[in-house]
Amino acid sequence: MNIVVQKFGGTSLSTDERREMVIEKILKAKSQGKSVVVVVSAMGRKGEPYATDTLRGLVLKHNSDCGLRTLDFLMSCGEMISAAVLAATLEKYGEKPIVMTGAQAGILTDEQFSSSEILSIDENKILTHLERGSIVIVCGFQGVSNEGSITTLGRGGSDTTATALGVALNAEYVEIFTDVDGIMTADPNVVPSAKIIDEINYEEVFQMADKGAKVIHPRAVEIAQRENLLVRIKNTLSQHPGTSIHYSKNNGGSPYSNRINKRLLTAITHQNNIAQVFVIFDNDFKRESEFLSTLAKAKISIDMINFFLDRKVFTINEGQIPLLKELLEELQIPYDIKEKCSKVTIVGSRITGIPGVMATIVEALSRGGVKILQSSDSHSTISCLVPEEDAIKAVNLLHDAFHLNEE
């Protein structure tokens, strides 16, 4: 069988008109001889009746300490509603779709409620129905534990469901449909001249997702990369070919493309609500070790880490500031926190070993009067911490400096 997996997000399923567009995509794939597995998210966004956050609010407004197992049980309902409504719409076209929860689709997870990991998938649960010619609609974002508890996979879980099923079913490709034409060189709401990226490799899109771009969940990319699964990001509302995610020629070649990327960079992303933290130790290595262990136990994630003999400088999400302050004061460690920062990141697998990249960044931001508070890098990224009020300016300056607005 030539199996394809199509994932549709909440905005794609939110209205009758959009669901008809979803049906068109599904039936087109079937008419091309594909066996189709559809993964759905909960309909709509926060505030709409069946959105995941709306469902959470039903219980959290009465009990803010509601158990995660109970919350998972409730939140799984959003995808079930989407699946049933989409199946009913498909039946109008003479189809006999099969609707499956994550459990019925054979998705086994651990019991880390609200952020479960997929342990295995019994692909035969779905293959049986595909062999009979049925379109299979699977509830994304959910699975079942060995003990029979309904679990959810955390934010972006439906993306993870789609690529995990793609791997388990040996799918030809996975299509993730959303409300944009593909992955772009920057957030188009920030950079009006941002361009669609036709093709991108796994490492680059992983870094984009990890550094703030809301394109696909990083876990979904990791799953696809392990098996070299072709993933396409497409728009439910248009016929645009979208963005293909696969190995680049620099990573050993791709069976999907012969295109050579002439750009040095691929994209620029940014994250707001970042705080910069300075902690003073005066060469007290024992207190340093105690402090870092305390952070780990409190599950405070630190980033952009610069360690010096007398001090440590790092960033955290602003939501973790109260807990961090409490810990620092208990340990009697001097500190200073600068709030309202943003992390601006350039992404490109070709920047490794290329001289002058940082010089271009510094020159562009200096010319625009943007102060760099801190920087960090990896083999495919360079991140700069800037004042949050300058983040949009910084992204636009770098987008222009690296000519990402050119075809």
Q: Is 9 a known ligand-binding residue?
A: yes
8 A C-beta contact, residue 347 and residue 399: no
Q: Is 79 a known ligand-binding residue?
A: yes
User: Residue 23 half-sphere exposure, CB side, CA atoms within 13 Å?
Assistant: 19
> Rounded CA gap, 194 and 183, in Å?
10
> Rounded CA gap, 128 and 106, in Å?
12
Q: Is 179 a known ligand-binding residue?
A: yes
> Rounded CA gap, 221 and 21, in Å?
26
8 A C-beta contact, residue 71 and residue 59: yes
Q: Is 106 a known ligand-binding residue?
A: no
Q: Is 7 a known ligand-binding residue?
A: yes
Q: Is 52 a known ligand-binding residue?
A: yes
Q: Is 10 a known ligand-binding residue?
A: yes
Amino acid at the residue 232? R
Compute the residue count for the chain. 407
8 A C-beta contact, residue 60 and residue 66: yes
Q: Is 46 a known ligand-binding residue?
A: no
Q: Is 178 a known ligand-binding residue?
A: yes
Helix segments in 113-264, DSSP class H:
124-131, 157-168, 202-210, 218-226
Find, among 292, 274, 243, the residue nearest to 374 by Cα. 274
Binding-site annotation: residue ranges for ATP:
7-10, 178-179, 214-215
Binding-site annotation: residue ranges for substrate:
52, 79
Binding-site annotation: residue ranges:
7-10, 52, 79, 178-179, 214-215
